C-alpha cells in the first residue's frame, strides 16, 4: 500500500494497491492452469464467431503485465495530480480498480470456459 504526504495530510492509495494485488492473484491463477490452456484461447469476443476470436496463449498471458503497467502509469499520474486536485486523483484510483476488476472478470471467465 502506498501513501504520500502533502501539506501534512496523508493519502492512502489502497485502491491501486488492491488492483495490483488482484492482478498478481490473476497471474498466480494463470500459472496454476497454464498447462491446461490450449495453444489458442478465445479472447476477442467482439469479432465474428470462430477462429477470429482466438489469440495465442502467450498473448493472453501478456495481458496481465500490460494491465500492471497501466496501473503503475496511473499511480504516477495520480500522485502528480493529487497535489493539485485530490478528487481527480481519487477518480483515477477508482478507475484503475474498476478497469482491473472488469479485466479480471473476463480473464477468469475465459480460463473457466477452457479448463
Q: Which domain range does residue 36 map to?
A: 13-114
Burial class (CB in 10 A: 0-12, 13-18, 19+), 102: exposed
- Residue 23 pLDDT > 70: yes
Q: Is 96 part of any domain?
A: yes
Q: Is the pLDDT of residue 10 over 50?
A: no
Domains: count for the chain: 1
Long-range contacts of 54-59 (CB under 8 A, 24+ apart): none
What is the tens place of the pLDDT at every residue in 59-101? 988 998 998 888 888 888 888 888 888 888 888 888 888 888 8
CA angle 61, 20, 90 (to 5 degrees): 135
Query: Is there a domain that residue 6 lies in?
Result: no
**pTM for the complete prediction?**
0.74
- In our burial notation (b when 16+ CB lie closer than 10 A, e otherwise), range 11-23 reads bebebbbbbbebb
Residue with cell 479448463: 115
Amino acid at each position: 500500500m502506498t501513501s504520500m504526504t502533502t501539506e501534512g495530510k496523508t493519502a492512502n492509495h489502497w485502491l491501486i494497491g488492491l488492483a495490483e494485488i488482484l492482478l498478481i492473484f490473476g497471474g498466480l491463477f494463470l500459472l496454476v492452469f497454464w498447462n491446461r490452456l490450449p495453444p489458442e484461447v478465445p479472447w476477442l469476443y467482439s469479432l465474428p464467431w470462430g477462429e477470429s476470436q482466438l489469440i495465442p496463449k502467450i498473448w493472453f498471458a501478456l495481458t496481465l503485465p500490460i494491465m500492471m503497467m497501466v496501473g503503475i502509469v496511473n499511480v504516477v499520474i495520480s500522485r502528480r495530480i493529487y497535489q493539485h486536485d485530490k478528487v481527480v486523483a481519487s477518480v483515477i484510483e477508482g478507475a484503475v480498480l474498476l478497469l482491473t476488476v472488469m479485466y479480471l472478470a473476463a480473464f477468469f471467465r475465459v480460463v473457466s470456459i477452457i479448463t
